[in-house]
Amino acid sequence: MTAFEDIIKLRNKGYSQQEIAQKIGISLRTAQRYLKLGKIPIYERSKPSKEDPFEEFKPEVQKLIKLKVNGRIPRCSYIYKEIKKQGYSGSLRTVQRKTYEIRESLKEREIYFEQYVPEGEMIEGDFTEIWIPFKEGQKKRYLWVMSLKASKGSFACSFPNQTFEAFAEGTVKGFEYFGGVARTYRLDNLKPVVKRILKNGRNLTKRFKELQAYYQMIGDFCNPGKGNEKGTVEAINKHFKDYLSWEIAVQNKVFETDNEFNIFLLVVLEAYNSPKQKEIDQEKKSLKQLPINPFPYFSTEVGKVNKYGFVYAAGRRYSVASEHKFKQVEIRLTSRNIEIFHQGEKIKSHTRETVSAPIAPKIDFLDHIDSMLKKPGAFTYYKHKESFFPTHVFKNFYDKFPDNRNFLQCLSLCKKHPLSEVEAAIVLCMEANNPVNYENLLNLIQLNAPNLQRPKIELHPLNPQLQVYDALLNYSQEGVLL
């Protein structure tokens, strides 16, 4: 029943206009108007609405968008100026809104079809960022995540970078985890894999072609900006990251090393895969057999040690012992290390650094200490002087006694003795106000080597006496402890 019907019904029963308005919950004025007209009023505009000034120029805007200007879709400000010359009286904001609607209407809509991929046919892979709590603080790591398309079985491992070596190592470990290789490997257009996107394909990197041939698999790549084409691994990336972050938070984990985190990662991965383990085991039977030996996921380069004692690798300079200056060396790059070989013998190993600006060289002062001792005067303005202060103790020692030759001689003791022993000997000499020189430090190290080690703090578990706790919990009826 409408409000008008209620008004008529109450009026026929003898109710006043004021009483009708109160009972129905409308204003007195509305009740009076309804009764006067004898029907529900129909509202009509007294005059037509203002015409949209843009409609007249819409064909011209469509023409501008389709033809483009210098090969590019013109900006809204340009379109606004052009149609204003022709008499447009509306605002720029209207042009922006209407131009967006036209652009959207001209786009070709994506067509989607449900897909079915047989077991063992496809594995998808992708990198994703995650922040991990280490003792030194939060650090960014990259998870390489792989997923079996049919069963949605997952694999993940962590790397400090997104280099080809990280990608290849993650791929090899993923295949080993699943116990086989799929026929198709679907990936995004990763820089370590794709050199250039062509109209009818991809220009692939040499190393990826080697990986592809080694495992006899087909590389399948998503179209640019179409991550949904590898939707399984994209969804697992997000879900597994949330799952992993939750486990880290609940267990209050803080990691000392990357290796410790990777071990924890595998434990979490097993729990994550457990609900679908039956389907994963079934799909594993359809995978191709692995080769006898895994693909060598390191890369090698040939370089030459320059006159400053550095070799260039992976976008950064790394120090090499002075005796190898001007020699040709082989550089082996892994996801985490830079290993340098001369005539088949490993002469140096560095932790691989992420390239970032400014690109400072990675220096081990022990590599250049002998050369510096030959020209100690050069140390005063040496560009990488800070690398020769391994701890604040050495820095304080040099600041207090700025004798280049003496400092470098003392520092050279670290070639034969642990850094902690040399550091402790310097502290003892400085506290006793004895001269800090090579001979005094060497005597202290040789005579008091056992006492120069930094004391280790040992934690011993408490052995609680449970009967004491029981006594605290038991009271007599008088409130006295038993």
**Alpha-carbon span 124 to 237, nearest angstrom:** 11
DSSP string, 235-273: HHHHHHHHHHHHHHHHTT--BSSHHHHHHHHHHHHHHHH
Query: What type of residue sits at position 62?
Result: Q
> Which residues, at least 6 apart from 99, have a Cβ–Cβ distance to it below 8 Å?
61, 65, 76, 79
Listed as own residue / partner, the contacts of 340-349 with beta carbons closer than 8 Å and 24 or more positions apart are 340/311, 340/313, 347/320, 347/321, 348/318, 348/319, 348/320, 348/321
Overall size of the chain counted in residues: 482
Asked if residue 358 has a cis previous peptide bond (ω within 30° of 0), the answer is yes
Contact predicate 312/340, CB 8 Å: no
pLDDT tens for residues 114-157? 778 899 999 999 999 999 999 989 999 999 999 999 999 999 99
Contact predicate 174/127, CB 8 Å: no
- Weakest-pLDDT range from 56-70, 78-92, 284-298: 56-70
CA 320 centroid distance within chain: 31
Query: What type of residue sits at position 167?
Result: F
Read off the DSSP letter of residue 309.
S
Among 145, 124, 125, 150, CA closest to 242 = 145
Read off the DSSP letter of residue 69.
B
Token pair, residue 474, equals: 């038991």
Same fold, 122-284 and 299-362: no
**Alpha-carbon span 428 to 434, nearest angstrom:** 8
Beta bridge partners of residue 184, listed in sequence order: 122, 218
The residue extents of the domains of the chain are 3-37, 55-106, 122-284, 299-362, 369-452
User: In the chain, pLDDT over 90 holds for what percent of residues?
Assistant: 49
Contact predicate 303/341, CB 8 Å: no
Query: What type of residue sits at position 421?
Result: E
Q: Is the pLDDT of residue 477 over 50?
A: no
Q: 459 pLDDT band (50/70/90 cuts)?
A: low
**Alpha-carbon span 22 to 29, nearest angstrom:** 12
Residue 104's H or E segment, with its range, is helix 92-106
DSSP string, 439-465: HHHHHHHHHSGGGGSPPPP--------
What is the Cα Rg of the chain in Å?
A: 38
User: Tell me, what's the pLDDT at 2?
Assistant: 66
How would you classify the pairing of strands 310-313 and 316-319? antiparallel
User: Tell me, what's the pLDDT at 30?
Assistant: 82
- The pLDDT mean for the chain works out to 85
User: Tell me, what's the pLDDT at 393?
Assistant: 92
Q: Sheet harboring 218-221: ordered strands across?
A: 154-159, 137-148, 122-134, 184-187, 218-221
Q: Which of 3-7, 51-55, 194-198 has the highest mean pLDDT?
A: 194-198
User: Tell me, what's the pLDDT at 474?
Assistant: 58
CA angle 175, 180, 182 (to 5 degrees): 85
Contact predicate 132/261, CB 8 Å: yes
Contact predicate 187/230, CB 8 Å: yes
CA angle 172, 176, 179 (to 5 degrees): 140
Residue 123's H or E segment, with its range, is strand 122-134
CATH tag for 122-284 (out of 3.20.20.70, 3.30.420.10, 2.30.30.220, 3.40.50.300):
3.30.420.10
Beta bridge partners of residue 148, listed in sequence order: 123
**Alpha-carbon span 15 to 392, nearest angstrom:** 97
Among 140, 242, 123, CA closest to 182 = 123
User: Tell me, what's the pLDDT at 468?
Assistant: 54
Find the distance separating the first CA and the last CA of the chain, reported in whole Å. Answer: 80
Distances (CA, A) of 285 to 121, 131, 217: 11, 35, 17
User: In the chain, pLDDT over 70 holds for what percent of residues?
Assistant: 87
User: Tell me, what's the pLDDT at 173?
Assistant: 94
Q: Is the pLDDT of residue 479 over 70?
A: no
> Which residues, at least 6 apart from 187, have a Cβ–Cβ distance to it below 8 Å?
124, 125, 126, 193, 219, 220, 221, 222, 230
Q: 470 pLDDT band (50/70/90 cuts)?
A: low
User: Tell me, what's the pLDDT at 53?
Assistant: 83
Q: Is the pLDDT of residue 452 over 70?
A: no
Helices (H) and strands (E) in the chain, counts: 17, 13
pLDDT tens for residues 265-306? 999 999 999 999 999 999 999 999 999 999 998 999 999 999
pLDDT tens for residues 176-208? 999 999 999 999 888 889 988 887 888 999 999
Beta bridge partners of residue 123, listed in sequence order: 148, 185
Contact predicate 348/321, CB 8 Å: yes
pLDDT tens for residues 305-329? 999 999 998 888 999 998 999 999 9
User: Tell me, what's the pLDDT at 480?
Assistant: 44
Contact predicate 160/141, CB 8 Å: yes
Token pair, residue 325, equals: 């200056």
CA angle 365, 369, 374 (to 5 degrees): 155
CATH tag for 299-362 (out of 3.20.20, 4.10.1110, 2.40.50, 1.10.101):
2.40.50
pLDDT tens for residues 348-394? 999 988 766 457 888 999 999 999 999 999 999 999 999 999 999 99
pLDDT tens for residues 406-449? 999 999 999 999 999 999 999 988 888 889 999 989 988 887 65
Q: 464 pLDDT band (50/70/90 cuts)?
A: low
